[in-house]
Amino acid sequence: MANEAVAPLEICVKGATGQPDVLGDCPFCHRVTLTLEEKGVPYSLKLVDLSNKPDWFLQISPEGKVPVLKVDDKWVPDSDVITQILEEKFPDPPLAPPPEVASVGSKLFISFIKFLKSKDPNDGTEQALLDELRALNEHLKEHGPYVNGEKVCAVDLSLGPKLYHLEIALGHYKNWSIPEEFTYVHNYLKLFFSRESFVKTKAAKEHVVAGWASKVNS
């Protein structure tokens, strides 16, 4: 790939909860590392213990948030901003989605979190999540196998990590799984989760479970 000759970019990502020297479970960090992998851009990870943030990290990320990527000697926060910069700086292969698919699945993550944290089975949070999954299933049925057809785009790289969290956290904390009727969503997960870029950059399941523990118990 044309981008392989670039000097490795430094990126700060979450270290695992309780095991900060191991890759942690942040879906926004995962989105950025997936983008780097799909574009063939070399990078080096700096793992950050978010429960005990080191001074060097707070100097480059005063809000204490990850991911943060060093580009042209500047540390840039926010996965939206970072992935946009990567698209502009490394346009090959192009990952920018066409406008008509840019918001596909955009409400899924917040629906998942509300259902995960819910203590009331009748509060509508499960139904809201099912509605979002149904909408994604219909979109993939018509336009799949990925969000924009045959090739992965930036929407997949944002959505995939969130669905990975959804599947693991809801399975563990609620004994809940995506209904079998959403065939196209299941096919999508199988396809996306088996990509080399995903396998290489995902956090281990136990770290995803540990990462959500405080949210579930709050």
| Residues labelled as active-site residues | 26
State how far the Cα of 151 lies from the Cα of 165, in Å rounded to an integer. 23
If we measure between CA atoms, which residue out of 82, 85, 24 comes closest to residue 53? 24
Q: Tell me, what amino acid is at 56?
A: W
Torsions phi, psi for 46 (to 5 deg): -115, 115
Q: Are strands 9-16 and 68-71 parallel, antiparallel or unpaired?
A: antiparallel
Residues contacting residue 117 through CB under 8 Å, at least 6 positions apart = 215, 216, 218
State how far the Cα of 192 lies from the Cα of 147, in Å rounded to an integer. 11
Torsions phi, psi for 27 (to 5 deg): -70, -25
E strand spans, the chain: 9-16, 19-23, 43-48, 68-71, 74-77
